[in-house]
Structure 1
Amino acid sequence: MEAQHIALVQQTFAKVEPIAQEVGDLFYNRLFEMDPSVRPLFKGDMKKQALMLMTVIGLAVRGLDRPEAIAPSIRALGERHSRYGVKGSDYHTFGAALIWALEQVLGDAFTPEVKAAWIEAYDVLAGAMKKATLPVEAAT
């Protein structure tokens, strides 16, 4: 990713972080609206899940400028999600729900350039997670 895009993602995440619970809740509500079939993948407390999601996104966002440092964590996350039943095809819906949630809370600050930077960041991270799922999916 270009340094400018990384900076945009990190700057806008700083605005989102104080309202992480709200963003996480919006994400999951939208995700389940877009694809009800993924709902059974989430069996625990959704408030906790929403906060965990935003914590993980925060770690990934802070590491965008050091991809080699976060690569093992992202790979492990992809493997874990595969074991939970997340398929490679689910990542598109997850990404769309995340972008939608960010757009809702950032409003006018979610400019086309910011949106493009977030899509790029998501694609990079989701791509790394999907690569980690391939051996697990092939074994099932």
Structure 2
Amino acid sequence: MGRLATRGDGRKSARQEVMAGILVFLAVVGAPLAIFGYERAVRPALAAPNEFHIVIRIFEDGGFQPSYLEVRRGDRVRIKLTSYDVTHSFQLLDFGIDTGPIFPGTSRVVEFVADRAGTFPFQCNVRCSALHRNMVGQLVVKP
């Protein structure tokens, strides 16, 4: 392997000092930012276990994703709903939630307290495809 070029008096050149400074900066600042950014972008559910993002597509393309949510009684629940293909809606009538239409490319956020235990169905209330009646899911509230 080659040796680093040095001046005649044994000091590194200015270019080498700049490169070393950049590498130190990237190691100290860049790596943690890259890791933190990855965690926030790819694994956002880790931040808050009672926050969910439901992607809504026609049933033939997956329906509610996820279609099963589980929380504990007394939890504050936050659900972000995003429609990607046609107009949908989200009804969780046992908790008084009816979003109305969620248009393609838009999102709605609902928040509520899961104040009673049980299994509660949710569904789409906008006829969105031939298999619209299958656009259902479950919220399970553990005691």
TM-score calculated relative to the size of structure 2: 0.26
Q: Larger strand proportion, structure 1 or 2? A: 2
User: Relative contact order, CA 8 A, sep 6+: which one is greater?
Assistant: 1
Q: Larger helix proportion, structure 1 or 2? A: 1
Structure number with larger C-alpha Rg:
2
